[in-house]
Amino acid sequence: MITLSGKSKTKWTVDGDKITVTDRRSTRVSNIANIATFEHLPPQGLQGSGHIRFKLSGSGAVSAIFGFDEAIFYKKTFLEDAEKLCEYINNYTQTVRIESSPAAEATPEDLLKFKELLDAGAITQEEYNAKKKQVLGL
């Protein structure tokens, strides 16, 4: 689980396949696989702040107006947490794309990619073992 605290009492938490966004008004939970676009702009300068935003597939009125569904602005002191959160989401969405793409012959290189995802915490040991069996033909 990775949590990023933002300005205005906003908090994002990623855990498993879910991202939870909490602010002063409400708490919203979305499946990470439903993230259509994702953008991270790190802080610039000494006192700068960064932000992360994303748009969900099938988004409604909010994204039509602002171009995204959720955004978090964070202080430079939380840059490391922001980078971990972004890495997790990027790894997770890449894994989903790999698994949902048309069946192709698995290669040893695929196994190395899945090992990296396992080490980054983006997939479980069970998911890695399943891919390993597929590659080795077991």
Per-residue pLDDT of the chain (138 residues; tens, 9 = 90+): 999 888 888 899 999 888 888 888 888 888 888 887 888 889 887 767 888 888 877 655 444 444 567 888 888 889 999 999 889 888 887 765 555 544 456 677 777 888 888 888 878 888 888 888 777 777
* CA–CA distance, 29 with 110 (Å, rounded to integer): 31
pLDDT value of residue 66: 47
* CA–CA distance, 39 with 68 (Å, rounded to integer): 10
Can you tell me which residue has the tokens 């569904």?
69
Cβ atoms of 107 and 135 closer than 8 Å: yes
- What are the structure tokens assigned to 119, written together? 């080490």
pTM exceeds 0.85: no
- What are the structure tokens assigned to 96, written together? 């989903």
Cβ atoms of 13 and 20 closer than 8 Å: yes
Residue type, 78: F
Residues 6+ apart with CB under 8 A from 26: none
* CA–CA distance, 19 with 28 (Å, rounded to integer): 8
Residue type, 30: S
For domain 2-86, give the fold: PH-domain like (2.30.29)
